[in-house]
Amino acid sequence: MTKHRIYAISFASVYPHYVAKAEKKGRTKAEVDEIIRWLTGYTQAKLNAQIKSKSSFEDFFAAAPKLNPARALITGVVCGVRVEHVEEPLMREIRYLDKLIDELAKGKAMEKILRAAPR
C-alpha cells in the first residue's frame, strides 16, 4: 500500500495556512499554537523547532512528545469524512488537527476546542 502524499508534505508548509484560516476569522496564531501543543504535547520551543526543520507530517506526528488522550473526543466531518471513522492512524491525527483548526475558525470557545471539562 502506498503512503498518502500528505504524509511527506512538510508541516511547516501547511502551518501558515492554519494560521491564516484562524486569523481571517479573528482568531490568533497563539491560539493555533495552543491547539497544536494540546494535541501533540510539543512545547512552544519544540513546535517552533519542528516548523523550522520543515519536518514532514509523518515525522512531525512521530516525534510528538505525547499525543493527548482526549483527542479521541474529537468528532465531526472534515473534507466530507468523519474524523472518528478514519482508520489510518496518521491520517486520523492529521484530520484531528484539521478539525480543531476548523472549530477555531468557526468561533468555538478554546475550552470546548481543547475538550476541557466544564467548570
Assigned C-alpha cell, 40:
501533540
Reported confidence tier of residue 1, pLDDT bands at 50, 70, 90: low
Contact residues for 108 (Cβ-Cβ < 8 A; gap 6+): none
pLDDT digits (tens, 9 = 90+) for 57-105: 999 999 999 999 999 999 999 888 899 999 999 999 999 999 999 999 9
pLDDT digits (tens, 9 = 90+) for 4-48: 899 999 999 999 999 999 999 999 999 999 999 999 999 999 999
For the chain, the structural domain boundaries read 5-109
Burial of 23 (0-12, 13-18, 19+ CB in 10 A): middle
Q: Which CATH number fits domain 5-109: 3.40.50.620, 1.10.8.290, 3.30.1330.40, 1.10.110.30?
A: 1.10.8.290
pLDDT value, residue 59? 97
**CA–CA separation, 74 vs 36, rounded Å?**
14
DSSP string for 47-88: HHHHHHHT-BHHHHHHT-S---GGGGG--SEETTEEGGG--S
